[in-house]
Amino acid sequence: MANIAAVATAVPPHRIPQEEAREFAGRFFRRAHPDIQNRLSIFENARIRSRHFCVPAEWFASEKSFQEKNATYIEWACRLGADASRKCLDAAGVRPADVDYLVFVSTTGLATPSIDARLINILGMSPHARRSPVWGLGCAGGAAGLSQAFHYVKGHPSARVLVVAVELCGLTFHFGDLSLANLTATALFADGAAAVLVAGAEAGLPGPEILGTRSTLWPDSYDVMGWNFMNEGMQVVFAKAIPDIIRTRFRENAAEFLKEQGVQIDDIAHFVLHPGGAKVMDAFRESRERFEARAAGK
Other beta carbons less than 10 A from residue 201's beta carbon: 15
Q: Are 45 and 278 contacting, i.e. CB atoms less than 8 angstroms apart?
A: yes
Give 35's Cβ-side CA count (13 Å radius). 4
Whether the link from the prior residue into 208 is cis, omega within 30° of 0, is: no
Query: What residues contact 143, with CB distance under 8 A and at least 6 apart?
Result: 213, 274
Query: What residues contact 135, with CB distance under 8 A and at least 6 apart?
Result: 105, 106, 107, 110
Q: Which of 206, 214, 201, 194 is nearest to 153 (CA)?
A: 201
Residue 88: active-site member: no
Q: Are 172 and 72 contacting, i.e. CB atoms less than 8 angstroms apart?
A: no
Q: What is each CA distance from 271 to 37, 45, 145, 241, in whole angstroms?
A: 34, 21, 18, 22
Query: Read out DSSP for 111-172?
Result: -SS-HHHHHHHHHT--TT-EEEEEES-GGGHHHHHHHHHHHHHHHSTT-EEEEEEEEEGGGG
Task: Please identify which of the residues 54, 78, 88, 139 carries the catalytic annotation.
Answer: 139
Residue type, 254: A
Q: Which of 60, 102, 55, 64 is nearest to 197 (CA)?
A: 102
Active-site amino acid positions: 139
